[in-house]
Amino acid sequence: MTSYEAVIGLETHIQLNTKSKIFCSCKADSWGDPPNSNICPICTGQPGSLPTPNNAAIEKGILLAAAMNAEIQPISYFDRKNYFYPDLPKGYQISQYDLALAKGGYMDIPLQDGSTRRVRIQKLHIEEDAGKTIHKPGRRLLDFNRCGVPLVEMVTKPDLRSADEAALYISRLRQLLRWIGVSYADMEKGHLRIDANVSIREAGNQELNPKTEIKNVNSIEHIRDAINAEIQRQIKEMKEEHVIHSWTLDWNEDTQTLSKMRSKETEADYRYFREPDLLPIQVDKERKEEILTSLPELPLARKKRFQEKYDLPNYDADILTSGRSLSDYFESTAASYGGDPKQASNWLINHLLGLLNERGLSPEDLYLTPQYLADILSMIDEGSINTSTGKQLLTKVEDQQKPPRDIVEEEGLAQVSDSAAIQSICKEVIAENPSQADEYREGKGAVLGWFMGQVMQKTGGKADPQAVRAALRELLQE
Ligand SMILES: [Zn+2]
């Protein structure tokens, strides 16, 4: 039986998070604004208006290109991509064609089996967005707010081999975009839009068969579903010896089906030519170096460093580098703490993330600074508080906006490890519960846990659990 493999490439449109649009001073982010409220003669292409490039958009494009290991070009050009569509008032889109901002590039994606998939970049350039057509029964409404919003279009080579790999690529890309601060990458708001090119071939073959393009999918889960559906459809067609046409397909989330939108355009259909109203983009060595000083250590490099420097397992390092501010928080905590970094990692993953989720906060919003978390961990190590008090302190510090050491002092939370005090409380509890004491002596070991609970309750959870356990065992033997 023939087995098939999928050959997938992704086209992404990334909305850069600049304040203003790419060629005019209109506000770039129109989310929630009324239609056509952020427009001007330039972004709606009125006769006589002239575009002025927004440096911030170019710089963010360069940062992204560098993060994708692409080669920044010293000179690149804007071109007009001509097509007629109601939501494109100029009749052309200013884009880049043959001499774009960057060349080459790749992103390495760690796969679940521990191997790495290198996804090469075919094309990376900056361009302006078009407007939006809103379909209402019997009419079409046009919103030009999005005209002129800065985008990076980035197209991968067909290097992905399954819907799951495509999903992993997108989530790594989203992580990277947020990490380097060039886009909010919110797919629901259209900051990161993905089209998938899908073809199949007999496993082991090298040829590329005709591909289809899936458009209009706005979540990672739906892209995975749509690609899987298209792979299955193509396998069926191929088995029945039908020709696979280069269609553009629309994914319907509700019915989980693909439908044909149109035949795919080719580049020749767009009659590209140089944009006569804009000078080339020049990025000399000095300018490039200056821009790249703000490029941080990237997520996968940081993950690898966390594993090596702090001896953390893959799982921990992956979670701690899921966002840049979380990874900064971990690193500051580990530095202030000075104890076992794995302990700091456990507290972040098991307790701090829960607190952040519960309150909808980012690490940098917390009153509980890395220094305070480190103080809590040190107090536990010193034996001055027990673990359960430590956990309570996380919320107390946040609620009371006070340093943990002050709270411990004010509320008398210090651990009771004085053996005479613990002995006397244990004696009391045993005397009050003779029948449970008998059960223990008759061999019901589990009752010890119940006694532990009673003693902890009496001490307000402050007793050193190990000392309590030892004292109870000893006293119950008598
Ligand atoms: Zn404008």
Angle at 347 between CA 346 and CA 349, to 5 degrees: 65
Q: How far is the CA of 89 from the centre of ligand 1 (A)?
A: 12
Output the CA 333–ligand 1 centroid distance in Å. Answer: 45
Nearest C-alpha neighbor of 199 from the set 32, 446, 465, 9: 9
Distance between Cα 22 and ligand 1 center (Å): 9
pLDDT in tens, the chain (478 residues): 789 999 999 999 999 999 999 999 999 999 999 999 999 999 999 999 999 999 999 999 999 999 999 999 999 999 999 999 999 999 999 999 999 999 999 999 999 888 999 999 999 999 999 999 998 999 999 999 999 999 999 999 999 999 999 999 999 999 999 999 999 999 999 999 999 999 999 988 888 899 999 987 889 999 999 999 999 999 999 999 888 888 888 888 888 888 887 766 666 789 999 999 999 999 999 999 999 999 999 999 999 999 999 999 999 999 999 999 999 999 999 999 999 999 999 999 999 999 999 999 999 999 999 999 999 999 999 888 889 899 999 999 999 999 999 998 888 887 777 777 888 888 888 989 888 888 888 888 888 889 888 888 888 788 888 888 888 888 888 7
**Interval between CA 42 and ligand 1 midpoint (Å):** 5
Strand segments (E) across 16-131: 71-72, 75-76, 79-82, 92-95, 102-103, 106-110, 116-128
Q: Report the distance separating Cα 363 and Cα 444, nearest Å.
A: 46
- What stretches of 79-218 show up as alpha helix (H) in DSSP? 163-179
* Residues in the chain, total: 478
> Could you tell me the distance, in angstroms and rounded to a whole number, from the CA of residue 424 to the centre of ligand 1?
78
Q: Ligand 1 centroid to 171 CA: how many Å? A: 32
- Cβ proximity of 393 and 407 under 8 Å: yes
Residue 180: Cβ within 10 Å count:
19
Cα of 273 to ligand 1 centre, how many Å?
A: 23
Distance 24 CA to ligand 1 centre (A): 5
CATH no., domain 419-477: 1.10.10.410
pLDDT of the residue at 225: 94
**Domain residue spans in the chain?**
4-291, 299-410, 419-477
Residue 216 has what DSSP assignment? E
pLDDT of res. 2: 81
**What phi and psi, each to the nearest 5 degrees, are found at residue 303?**
-60, -45
Q: How far is the CA of 47 from the centre of ligand 1 (A)?
A: 14
pTM of the entire predicted model: 0.86
